[in-house]
Amino acid sequence: MTLHKPQHHTTSWDVTQTLQAYEKDAEIFLKHWGRKRYKRPALLVQWLKLLPERAVLLDLGCGAGQDSRHLAKRGHHVIGLDRTMPLLQFADGRIPSVPLILADIRALPLRADSLDGVWAAASLIHLPKRAVQSVLTEPRHLVKPQGFFAATFTYGSNSRIKWTGWMPGRYFARWKKDELARTLHRAGWEVLSLQVVSNQERKGRWINMITMKVEV
């Protein structure tokens, strides 16, 4: 496992609170996402159809590594990245062949044009909207021309920290399709698919997104 010193020295209270919640309740998270039977997300299946064989992929916010493990089993070269050490330690025990990086998703320590695709399942949802455009620009620099980026976002209009329910204390940014489409466009992505879904891998309403890097 590689430790990368975060480049962001100023972190909003919302993000700090969320990181603390994942650290504190890591075992609760792992009981649900680390040990249950794996089911491929529908968006992952759709994204994989666009990728070449033995693609070089980044699992951005990999958590317990369940998606990274599946991608590696399919023959892809996967890099997992997360900011929560207990989750990465768990993933390292399950997928020792996959390089794992402890780093901030707002400062990715990877080379430009080095990836065929980026996968971000329920990770960018914890960033305030004002920070997301610059964060979405980072993966665009990392993927090759015609590279693909897939991610899930929480749907809605009430962005806030949830203090009740499962793993309280986490911030959730909620998006509408049109505002997310505009943000992706400003970050330089061509939107291929933007779909609102309900109660698929996770409860509630989500936006499933696939974009492609195009040269301008």
**Digit-coded pLDDT (tens) for 46-76:** 999 999 999 999 999 999 999 999 999 999 9
How high is the pLDDT of residue 68? 98
The confidence score (pLDDT) of residue 198 equals 97
Residue 38 has pLDDT above 80, yes or no: yes
Q: Which two tokens stand for residue 119?
A: 């996968």
H or E stretch including 184? Answer: helix 177-186
Average pLDDT, the chain: 93
- Tokens representing 76 are 């892809």
Is pLDDT above 80 for 108? yes
Tokens read off for 6 = 């975060």
Give the separation between CA 63 and CA 72, rounded to whole angstroms: 15
The domain limits of the chain are: 26-213
Cα 49 to Cα 42: distance, rounded to the nearest angstrom: 11
**Most distant CA pair in the chain, distance:** 45
Q: What is the pLDDT of residue 5?
A: 47
Give the least confident one: 76-85, 124-133, 204-213.
Answer: 124-133
Q: Would you say residue 3 has pLDDT above 50? A: yes
Work out the average pLDDT over 64-93: 97
Q: Across the strands, what pairs with 77?
A: 56
Estimate the crossing angle of helix 129-142 against helix 177-186, to 10 degrees: 50
In 3D space, the residue among 127, 130, 193, 116 whose CA is nearest the CA of residue 154 turns out to be: 127
DSSP 12-51: -HHHHHHHHHHHHTHHHHHHHHTSSPP---HHHHHHHTTS
pLDDT of 9 over the 50 cut: no
Report which of 54, 41, 187 is spatially closest to residue 117, judged by C-alpha positions. Answer: 54
Assess whether pLDDT exceeds 60 at residue 27.
yes
* Cα–Cα distance for residue pair 208/96, rounded to 1 Å: 29
Model confidence at 102: pLDDT above 60: yes
Q: Does the pLDDT of residue 172 top 80, yes or no?
A: yes
Find out if CATH 3.40.30.10 is the number for domain 26-213. no
Q: Look at residue 8 in the predicted model and tell me its pLDDT.
A: 46
pLDDT at 129 over 60: yes
Strands 100-102, 77-82: pairing kind: parallel
Mean pLDDT of the 21-25 span: 97
Q: How many residues does this entry show for the chain?
A: 216
Quickly list DSSP for 61-112: T-TT-HHHHHHHHTT-EEEEEES-HHHHHHHHHH-TTS-EEE--TTS--S-T
For position 184, what pLDDT does the model report?
A: 97
Q: Report whether pLDDT(6) > 60.
A: no
Please give the helix or strand (H or E) that residue 160 lies within, else none.
strand 160-162
CA distance 201 to 40: 9
Going by pLDDT thresholds of 50, 70 and 90, the confidence category of residue 216 is low
Burial class of residue 89 (count of CB atoms within 10 Å of its CB; 0-12, 13-18, 19+)? middle
Full-model pTM: 0.94
With a cut of 60, say whether residue 7 has pLDDT above it: no
Which pLDDT does position 106 carry in this prediction? 86
